[in-house]
Structure formats: structure tokens, C-alpha cells
Amino acid sequence: MAIHLHKGDLPEGLDLGPVVAIDTETMGLNPHRDRLCLAQLSSGDGNAHLVQFARGQYDAPRLKALLADPACLKLFHYARFDVAVMRHYLGVMATPIYCTKIAARLVRTYTDRFGLKDLVKELVGVELSKQQQSSDWGAETLTDEQLAYAASDVLHLHKLKARLDILLDREERRELAEAAFRFIPHRAALDLEGWPDVDIFAH
């Protein structure tokens, strides 16, 4: 496994393939208040590419092009947040999308545990450490522990997707999942416009 740290954008010429796992690290969970600090990406080859953003510097033309590329499937766990925060800071709405959390909610109805740590342990057989989850991602220099934690959030998503796809087909819920994935950009837009905790479909 190799972790590559890039400042401000992906390197020129990097090809991450047709399905890219993506995650973000921020200063908190409010996109309007808590800035985007890091974006992690993996092609599923066991390597991770981390893009670190300095405060207010979000040009990143190569990353933006990848997020907007209709031929590249963006693979997230809890896409709703990552898509919203990247739309707010990078100005790009990532599409098309696959969200392992939504897929898991549709097929793992026997449990209420849908965190990445739980899913990866059950479906991939890997124990993830969440020790650095609440660390200072805005630091100018990130520790080796922070980098390893950030990378771990994308390194297993391809295998997780493969397991969830089997379950979606088994339970005949793939079409429903794909419809939910297509709605994620709209849900993210609602979050950014001020409806984060409101179900607009409710009575």
C-alpha cells in the first residue's frame, strides 16, 4: 500500500480508472462553517491519493474534472455529506454516484449499524481504526497516523461495493438503489440550501 499526498490538486496524468473511491476530511460537519481540508481517492489498487487543501485554495482543476466526468463512477460511503461539501468548496457536483451506506441500508435490514467500520468488518473482513477521526485536519502538516486513517476510508470501498452489489441483486433492490444514488446530488443541494434536517416528502 502506498499513500501519495498532493498539495492542492491531483497530479497531471494520473488515471484512477472508471470507478474511483472518494472521501473527504473537514473541520466539522457543517459545510458552510467547516472547511474542506482533504480529499482522498483510490482506484481500488490498494493505493491512495490524498489532496490537501490550504485555506481558501480550491482551484484543483484536475480533481474537479474527475468529479464532473460522466464516464467515471464516484464511490462514496455516506455520499450525501462528501458531495455537499465538495459542491460548496470546489463548485462541482459529483456525478454519477454509488453510496455504500445507502446500499447497505437497503440490504442489511437486520441491523442498525451502517458505519464504514461496521460494514468493512462484516463484509470485507478488515478491522478499521477510527482513532484519528476527530483530529485536526486543518493542520498544515498532517501526521502519518492521520494520513493512514484518511487512506483507510477509501482503500476498501471497491471490495465493499462488490459485496453490496451481490446483496442488492439477491434482494432485488438494485434498481431502487440506483434511483437513490441519482437523487444524492439533489439531497446535497437541499442540505446546502438550508433543509439538512427536513424531510420534504413528509406529510
Residue % of the chain over a pLDDT of 90: 96
In this structure, what C-alpha cell is assigned to residue 97?
454516484
Q: Where are the domains of the chain?
A: 3-192
Mean pLDDT of 81-89: 98
Residue tagged 444524492 (cell numbers):
184
What CATH topology corresponds to 3-192? Nucleotidyltransferase; domain 5 (3.30.420)
Residue 194 makes CB contacts below 8 A (sequence gap 6+) with none
The average pLDDT across 112-139 equals: 90
List, for residues 174-198, the tens digit of each pLDDT value. 999 999 999 999 999 999 999 999 9
Lookup: cell for 149:
486513517
Query: pLDDT value at position 132?
Result: 65
DSSP code, position 178: H
pLDDT score of 1 more than 90: no
